[in-house]
Amino acid sequence: MELSVVMPCLNEAETVETCVRKALGFFAEHGVDGEVVIADNGSTDGSQQLAREAGARVVPVTSKGYGNALMGGIRAARGTYVVMGDADDSYDFTSLMPFLTELRDGADLVMGNRFKGGIAPGAMPPLHKYLGNPVLSFVGRLFFRSKIGDFHCGLRAFRRDSILRLGLQTGGMEFASEMVVRCTLAKYDVREVPTTLSPDGRSRAPHLSTWRDGWRHLRFLMLYSPRWLFLIPGLLLMTLGLIGGVALSTGPVRVGDIAFDVDTLVGASAMLVIGFQAVLFALLTKVYAMEEGFLPHDRRVQRVVDSWSLERGLVVGGLLALAGLVGLVASLVHWQGHSFGELNPRDSLRIVVPAATALIMSFQMIFASLFVSILGIRRRSHPPVTDPAEEAADVVDAAVVKVAGEAKTLKLKEVDAPADEDAAADEESKDPAETA
């Protein structure tokens, strides 16, 4: 089978029959060997029966959520290609040929673009049209270097085996973003075609929640990009904190009528520590995601991990700790010079703050080095006690012995059979009285 049209369904009795008939009409018009799969997510309004009567195959999916329903339908699909779209009659299932043409040409994922194809009046709320979708699509293009203009279009087509190979994880509305992101990271052939969006045919409110689902999409995009979530903000904070700390460690700095002193030095120290922690988190997150298969292998990160051994991390952390201890000793000497009495905070904090900062960063470096080493432990399976070749040979030998025994038994039965027949004939030739 070439094409499966998968529609998630949760109480779509008003529109599901229309969507199914449109998809089947597309198959008939273009001579496509296809099917319609309704991934029912627990409808209570009779959507299942209406879909069956219209000619669809209904697959029940017990796990709630948009992504779970779609993955249940995709796994149950029989087609080489899959088109997914909502069962609310907002997408035109009679105009799937551009998607199928791109798939036949070798594409792994073909996205619809509603902004290029046309959005009918009332089909999309203004907040989604002018803020939500453009902003989230821009974030996706920025974070993952994708060329897709409409990250959240519900009508899209793909090779079934390519998507199953990714092992998509999310079960909610963010499934739409995960599919594009994972395909982009896997270097799949991702293309885009214009499509239209019409007002849905339902009388009830849509399942989509503007702020909740918008946040889930944004959260997913950030969590799948440690570079933008941790690394870039961390490097920025570290740079500002380091510049400020070095400039203020020798004395106050004046910019026009504004004077920056030890209070700013404390803030610069906090920025340096927070930035350093964020950079470490970026590395740890990336290593963990690579080890677990959430993100593809990154050679640059691997080189950093290979060069950053536990021993080197402990040495760097130890040197930072030594610098911090030297600073604390210097502060004690400074205090002793004032007979352990009251100190001028402007002078004492310029010694204590850098020393405390070095100590904090030393422990961060040591703990991060230990954690990276733990993540680097590969899961290995011990070799089997017996050699597989020897075990296979034993099985073959046992089978040969068994066959030979069965053949010998059969041969003995054939030899004994004539003797038994002769004995029976002799018995029959005897006089009955004699036999008695």
Question: How does strand 57-60 pair with strand 34-40?
Answer: parallel
The answer, yes or no, to whether residue 430 has pLDDT greater than 60, is no
Q: Which residues contact 116 (CB under 8 A, 6 or more apart)?
A: 149, 150, 192, 194
Alpha-carbon distance of 152 to 133, in angstroms, equals 7
Q: Rounded to an integer, what distance in angstroms lies between the CA atom of residue 51 and that of residue 35?
A: 12
Q: Which tokens sit at 366?
A: 């040591």
pLDDT at 381: 44
Q: Is the pLDDT of residue 147 over 80?
A: yes
User: Rounded CA gap, 192 and 417, in Å?
Assistant: 80
pLDDT digits (tens, 9 = 90+) for 254-270: 888 888 888 899 999 99
User: CB-hemisphere CA count at 13 Å for 2?
Assistant: 12
Q: Is 113 helix (H, G, I), strand (E, B) or coil?
A: strand
Q: Residue type at 205?
A: A
Q: Is residue 172 over pLDDT 60?
A: yes
- Give the integer Cα–Cα distance in Å for 16 and 306: 54
pLDDT at residue 401, as a whole number: 63
315 burial class (0-12, 13-18, 19+ CB within 10 angstroms)? middle
Q: How far is CA 264 from CA 11, 12, 54, 241, in A?
A: 59, 60, 71, 10
- Nearest CA to 67 out of 171, 147, 142, 187 is that of 171
**pTM exceeds 0.95, yes or no:** no
Question: What is the average pLDDT value for the chain, to the nearest integer?
Answer: 84
Residue 73 pLDDT: 95
Structure tokens at 53: 């009567």
88-136 residue pLDDT tens: 999 999 999 999 999 999 999 999 999 999 999 988 888 888 888 888 8
Task: Indicate the pLDDT class of residue 406, thresholds 50, 70 and 90.
Answer: low
Supply the pLDDT for residue 400.
Answer: 59
**Eight-class DSSP state of 228:** I
Average pLDDT over every residue of 14-25: 95
β-pairing, 109-113 vs 156-159, is antiparallel
Average of per-residue pLDDT across 133-158: 89
233-236: long-range contacts (C-beta < 8 A, 24 or more apart)?
A: 233/275, 233/278, 234/274, 234/275, 234/276, 234/277, 234/278, 234/279, 234/280, 234/281, 234/282, 235/275, 235/279, 236/275
Q: How far is CA 42 from the centre of its chain?
A: 25
For residues 88 and 16, what is the distance between their CA atoms, to the nearest angstrom? 7
Predicted pLDDT at 236: 95
Q: Which two tokens stand for residue 381?
A: 């399976």
Q: Is the pLDDT of residue 148 over 80?
A: yes
Q: Which of 248-252, 263-267, 386-390 has the lowest mean pLDDT?
A: 386-390
- ∠ CA(116), CA(120), CA(122), 5° rounding? 130
Predicted local confidence at residue 81, as pLDDT: 97
DSSP string spanning 291-357? HHTSS---HHHHHHHHHS-HHHHHHHHHHHHHHHHHHHHHHHHHHHHTTT----HHHHHHHHHHHHH
Supply the pLDDT for residue 377. Answer: 67
